Amino acid sequence: MLSLTCFSLNNTLLIQPSLLAIQPLQSPKTRSNSHVSPTNFHCLSCNNDTNSTSASQFRFSTANTSAFEFQGSSDVDLSGTQLATHFVDSGVLALWLRSCYRAKEVKRIHAVALKCLRNSVTYVNNNMISAYLKLGQLIEARKVFDGMPERNVVSWTAMINGYISFGLDDEALSMCCPKGLRREKALRFGKQLHGAIVKKMYKDDVFIGSSLVDMYAKCGEILDSRKVFNRMRKRNTVTWTSIIAGYARKGLGEEAISLFQVMKQRRVISNNLTVVSILKACGSIRALLTGQEVHAQIIKNRIQSNEYIGSTLVWFYCKCGEFHIASKVLEQIPLRSVVSWTAMISGYAGLGHEPEALEFLKEMMEEGVEPNAFTCSSALKACANLDAILQGKLIHSFANKTPASSNVFVGSALIYMYSKCGYLSDAIQVFDSMPERNLISWKTMILGYARNGRCREALKLMYRMQAEGIEMDDYIFTSVMGACGDVEWNMEPSSKHCLLS
């Protein structure tokens, strides 16, 4: 690893990027006031004097009004059209991007990259995407991704993981699979791959086997996942983690915990994903004692500061009703992302503590963290239960400016919020404008009609739902009939009114 070479001159820190080594990042709380901020900088063009500083050397000033600049004589305003005559070193930009804790810092460095890098550098763009996603700026990350002339596996992986962290699984899937391929087709495609793997005699490969276990589990086919798992002669940490995560995702917490115990008995090393999965399993069945044992191991291994482990701990304690512990865990996370905040908000809202949930949403946005689809959905349900229509409309307005606006769960939460607060016309408008609907969307709109005394419209929507091939459960029918049982229908019964076979 190359070392950092720097020296002080006239209150200015000179750094040679060619010798720059990536240093461990500090949390915002541990950074001193003297930390050099990347938020104010501009480029200077280099003169032709051979004795002047080379283009690969930069000057970082510690003064408040100072700049991140080339060492030279004539200024170039970043807002203008003139650019520096030499390249900005990509290593420095990548370093600063990894050091950013605020979105505006990333945007300013982004501006410098656009102005001063003549050729788009994939390495810098990948760091830009990661920096934006780390701070919850999904739209900005996608803009960088779309503008890249060349992308590598890091670019695609970062963007896919970004969509997953925002709860936009369909968007993530669309980046992995051919256009138009959804879960059902993805499962069919995966089974075809499985058949090809068996024919090619790759079935004993632990990495391919682990991928198959993971694929079936993520598609909800937990029995097929377990069959592949049981037939594997060799298993590694990824194999065990995939099957445990699959059970946890299906809400089968006891099976997941049982497998985790077997995994420990066989002395298979756990990784961070294993810990996250078992905590989710414990939360799904409110296994407080088992979860606390896992928490003790987390502290022992000093991994409690990991973003996803910390966020899952927050979610776990909220699910178990231990809000005081959840708040303490949240405070101990050095870099609180949208995932950790959402865990807290959904946890409070899910157990009837709506005012506290909305207070955490306010605090989250004050810290500059952008809510994702899960955050908006949880907050909207809290607004509905409080009849807080004004706050709900503010969240709706914000969601319209983000990818969350097209999320089916956000749409369903908006329908629920508007219909419960008596704003049925707004609920109808949201329903009609949804790009796609699921059973929850239809159910919420139908019950919204019934709740507001519009029983004829509720019944018509039930017909329409069935005509579009969506199966109706008994809950919808009995709820509508219960809400509209005393209404005078003024209709003659006929065969077209038969909804249940």
Q: What is the DSSP string of 235-266?
A: --HHHHHHHHHHHHHTT-HHHHHHHHHHHHHT
Read off the pLDDT of residues 220-231 as tens digits, 9 standing for 90 and up: 889 988 998 998
The domain segmentation of the chain, as residue ranges, is 6-118, 361-435, 437-501
pLDDT tops 50 at residue 149? yes
Q: What is the pLDDT of residue 384?
A: 94
**Strand, helix or coil for residue 6:** strand
Q: What is the pLDDT of residue 313?
A: 93
Q: What is the pLDDT of residue 263?
A: 94
- DSSP assignment letter at 384: H
Q: What is the pLDDT of residue 254?
A: 94
Tell me which of 237 and 200 has the higher pLDDT.
237
Q: In degrees to the nearest 10, what's the CA dihedral of 42, 48, 53, 55?
A: 60
Structure tokens at 194: 């499985």
Choice among 143-157, 351-365, 378-392 with the minimum mean pLDDT: 143-157
Choice among 30-44, 259-273, 448-462 with the minimum mean pLDDT: 30-44
Choice among 143-157, 413-427, 435-449 with the minimum mean pLDDT: 143-157
Q: What is the pLDDT of residue 286?
A: 92
Q: What is the pLDDT of residue 268?
A: 93
Choice among 75-84, 145-154, 188-197, 485-494 with the minimum mean pLDDT: 75-84
pLDDT band at 92 (very low <50, low <70, confident <90, very high): low
Structure tokens at 360: 């955490």
Tell me which of 110 and 137 has the higher pLDDT.
137
Query: Kindly report the CA angle at 325 between 321 and 328, in degrees rounded to 5?
Result: 140
The length of the chain, given as a count of residues: 501
Q: What is the pLDDT of residue 354?
A: 92
Q: What is the pLDDT of residue 90?
A: 60
Q: Which amino acid is at 14?
A: L
pLDDT tops 50 at residue 382? yes
Q: What are phi and psi of 379, to 5 degrees?
A: -65, -40
Q: What is the pLDDT of residue 390?
A: 94
Read off the pLDDT of residues 263-309 as tens digits, 9 standing for 90 and up: 999 999 998 889 999 999 999 999 999 999 999 999 988 887 787 88
Q: What is the DSSP string of 92-158?
A: HHHHHHHT--SHHHHHHHHHHHHHH-SS--HHHHHHHHHHHHHTT-HHHHHHHHHT-SS--HHHHHH
CB distance 261 to 273 below 8 Å = no
Read off the pLDDT of residues 465-477 as tens digits, 9 standing for 90 and up: 888 888 777 777 7
Q: Most confidently modeled of 48-62, 116-130, 328-342?
A: 328-342
- d(CA 239, CA 64) in angstroms, rounded, equals 52
pLDDT band at 188 (very low <50, low <70, confident <90, very high): low
Mean pLDDT of 172-199: 57
CB-based contacts of 448: which residues, under 8 Å, 6+ apart? 415, 416, 418, 419, 420, 424, 427
CB distance 20 to 2 below 8 Å = yes
Q: What is the pLDDT of residue 266?
A: 93
Choice among 205-219, 392-406, 478-492 with the minimum mean pLDDT: 478-492
Q: What is the pLDDT of residue 82?
A: 35
